[in-house]
Structure 1
Amino acid sequence: MNDVPVTCFRIDESGYTGFDLLNADQRFQGASAVAIDDGEAARLIKAHFPRLQAPELKYRALSRRPSNHPRLLGLMKDLLSDFDSVTYVADKRFMLTLMFVEYAVEPYYYERGFDLYENGQNYAMASMLHMAGPALLGKTELAALMDTFQQAMKDKSPKSLQQLVEAARATNWGKIPEVLGPLAQYADRDCLSAIATPGVSTDIALVVLISLITRMEVMAEGAYRVEHDQSKNLSAYHDILQRYINHDKEVEFRATEITSLRFPLKLEAVKQVESKSSPAVQLADVMIGAAIEAGNTLTGLRSGGLGPEDLMPLYREDQFIHMLPSIDFEEQRRFRSGSQNSQAIDYLAANIFGKER
């Protein structure tokens, strides 16, 4: 008989804009998961905000007042020190660039026997395109290419695919033909077919959840469950989690040197709750709100919130996951060496989401 208690992770998200990863107002998307019960959460909220009059704790409302910042930092310190948690934050524009590589470039190499996912080469290529692309291809031309790609992924019409090819050709693509050649030079059928595949989109809710799950699977000693708010945005996360729970075949994929994805999951249930009645879900809101705000501050998009220099040292290395471009290619090669992301993507598409590459 298993005497290990069932852990409950409360999760919340921020920055979700569906397929639109170019949303000017929300540059970052992410989610947090924290293993805390409502009783402990209520105690922490009362300890740090004894005079709170609002019906629920909301990070955005609290962070507007500088007088609340020391209390928010104290709350974050207690959460990160005393409770298992993970926070994931992604730069959505970089994620769109990464998807461009995966759909508009990778199929060309795949059909020629070259695994672009091996050792994180797709990540390195996307980082290079994201960071050096404006100078090499033209800032306006690259922006138009990414916008056209996003639209083609949504519409999947012959017209949108042709517009994508034309947008690639309008760039100075000869500077990096290994990236844009498949579209600009060849209008590669395999790439265009991948983009036109029904059901695939630029929505990164799946990516966010995989990152949370790989950490929750490690943190939970035994079976665990998830509770989240009833918001419309989280309905996409709820559906994906339920599909994962229902998948009972035994399979495992290596993602990085420290993470893997193994089915069946230890996750046994997911439930939507009213955030006003769940102090624990409210704390998940604080965690992801603080992380997203730090990203906005560091990139100069907003100011006035918690200082990143005060917040970021509170995290342990295994508590914070980010998807940002990196030009340290050797470090990324080592970190992603032996990655089975390509196999994992094919498996998830065919066996959980009913699509095939």
Structure 2
Amino acid sequence: MECFRIDESGYTGFDLLNADQRFQGAAAIAIADDDAKRLIKQHFPKLQAPELKYRSLSRRETNHPRLIGLMRDLLSDFKCVTCVCDKRFMLTLMFVDYAVEPYYYERGFDFYADGQNYAMASMLHMAGPTLLGKPQFKRLMVSFQRAMKEKTDGVLNELVAAARGTNWGQIPEVIGPLARYADPECLEAIATPELSTDVAIVVLQSLITRMEVMADGPYRVEHDQSKNLATYHELLQRFIYYNDTAQFRATEITTLSFPLKLTEVKQVDSKKSPAVQLADVMIGAAIEAGNNLAGLRSGGLDPEQLLALYADEQFIHMLPSIDFEEQRRFRQGTQNGDLIDYLAANLMGAKR
């Protein structure tokens, strides 16, 4: 049975404002341990470490051509996908999903049609500090994240106060539901016990959508035994155990159908799995590229040289975009609102 190996990077749970970890992501690659071992030996014949670790290798400039060569081989010869998200943007997107969308939903507007939520979140993320006031916008996001975690009346009231403390009249269609009305539907959505700002489910859903397309038939997943991957493991098991039939168009190029072709998930020791080590290389390289392009870090591989190796379907990014027309075309006719409700009700236990 075909096996995809998965590794993650940048996971900080509910805390999407973590200053040290701006990006989160995961990579999946369908490669056998024998092939992985061969490639590691080919590109790093003098490796003495017990396992291949991207972070350690990228520190030495002499390793950069070897890492680029390894990535080229992986991306050209094996089924793989990498997903990276800007966690601060994801928090803004969740703000739109839970602190804005319920207000419009109750009034009959499909806020997810043609990616309107994504466009609004992009605008809020990029222009919010200027329009609302930089410290006020920061307070709003901190208050929202806290409210999604603690869900008490006190923190919900603090969130409303934070919204009213912004220059919300600049974008009343976004901040108005909280600032003007303290909208009960929005506050109820934020207070839903099963919902949080943890984006592991979003990252995993993106990987699964591509793995389902790439897999020729039933397939399984293996991943490292790290603490962070425990959350991914539990979510993968939920997907596996869910057997009802449903289908959703997620984007212009992807459809997610239930039940999945995914049949098994297993934790392994990465030191004994060269294939899992290569998944570490893939996600490590992508996260490093994101940090470098954002000006947060320096050093490591040339991000432009690295990203040029990917085909469009091999890289999923959840970043703000001001190309609203392109986003509208890409998400036109999608069923993201229905998919969100479906996953919340059937896999996460929450209902809108």
Structure 1: distance between partners of 2:146 and 2:350:
20
Which of 205, 217, 222 in structure 2 is aligned with 1:222? 217
Which of 12, 29, 50 in structure 1 is aligned with 2:7? 12
Which residue of 2 is the match for residue 132 of structure 1? 127
Moved more, 334-343 or 227-236: 334-343
- Counterpart amino acid of residue 261 in structure 1: L
How far does the alpha carbon of each residue in 1:274-319 deviate from its partner, in whole angstroms, 9 at most, with x for none? 0000000000000000000000000110001101121010001110
- Counterpart amino acid of residue 141 in structure 1: Q
Which residue of 2 is the match for residue 177 of structure 1? 172
- Counterpart amino acid of residue 53 in structure 2: K
Which of 76, 80, 84 in structure 1 is aligned with 2:75? 80
Which of 308, 313, 328 in structure 1 is aligned with 2:308? 313
Which residue of 1 is the match for residue 266 of structure 2? 271
Which residue of 1 is the match for residue 244 of structure 2? 249
- Counterpart amino acid of residue 160 in structure 2: V
- Counterpart amino acid of residue 268 in structure 1: T
Which residue of 2 is the match for residue 39 of structure 1? 34
Structure 2: distance between partners of 1:346 and 1:298:
34
Which of 118, 121, 144 in structure 1 is aligned with 2:139? 144
Determine if the alignment matches structure 1 residue 205 to structure 2 residue 200. Answer: yes
Structure 1: distance between partners of 2:283 and 2:201:
17
Structure 2: distance between partners of 1:139 and 1:84:
43
Structure 1: distance between partners of 2:277 and 2:310:
19
Q: Secondary structure at the match of 1:306?
A: coil
Determine if the alignment matches structure 1 residue 23 to structure 2 residue 18. Answer: yes
- Counterpart amino acid of residue 342 in structure 1: G
Moved more, 342-351 or 110-119: 342-351
Q: TM-score, normalised by structure 1?
A: 0.98
- Give 1:114-129 correspondences, 5 Å limit: 114-129=109-124
- Counterpart amino acid of residue 329 in structure 2: R
Which residue of 2 is the match for residue 351 of structure 1? 346
Moved more, 254-263 or 17-26: 254-263
Deviation at 1:248, TM superposition (A): 0.7
Deviation at 1:345, TM superposition (A): 1.3
Which residue of 2 is the match for residue 3 of structure 1? none
Which residue of 2 is the match for residue 56 of structure 1? 51
**Aligned residue pair count:** 352
Structure 1: distance between partners of 2:226 and 2:60:
25
Structure 2: distance between partners of 1:334 and 1:126:
17
Q: Secondary structure at the match of 2:159?
A: helix
Ranges in structure 2 where 5+ consecutive residues have no aligned partner: none
Which residue of 1 is the match for residue 103 of structure 2? 108
Which residue of 2 is the match for residue 161 of structure 1? 156
Which residue of 2 is the match for residue 304 of structure 1? 299
- Counterpart amino acid of residue 265 in structure 1: L
Deviation at 1:338, TM superposition (A): 1.0
Deviation at 1:115, TM superposition (A): 0.8
Deviation at 1:188, TM superposition (A): 0.3
Identity among equivalent pairs (%): 74
Which of 265, 276, 279 in structure 2 is aligned with 1:281? 276
- Counterpart amino acid of residue 14 in structure 1: S
Structure 2: distance between partners of 1:227 and 1:151:
33
Determine if the alignment matches structure 1 residue 328 to structure 2 residue 320. Answer: no
Deviation at 1:33, TM superposition (A): 0.2
Deviation at 1:355, TM superposition (A): 1.4
Deviation at 1:261, TM superposition (A): 1.1
Determine if the alignment matches structure 1 residue 193 to structure 2 residue 188. Answer: yes
Deviation at 1:135, TM superposition (A): 1.0
Give the alignment's Cα RMSD to 1 decimal.
0.6
Structure 2: distance between partners of 1:218 and 1:117:
24
Q: TM-score, normalised by structure 2?
A: 0.99
Structure 2: distance between partners of 1:199 and 1:106:
18
Deviation at 1:333, TM superposition (A): 0.7
- Counterpart amino acid of residue 267 in structure 1: L
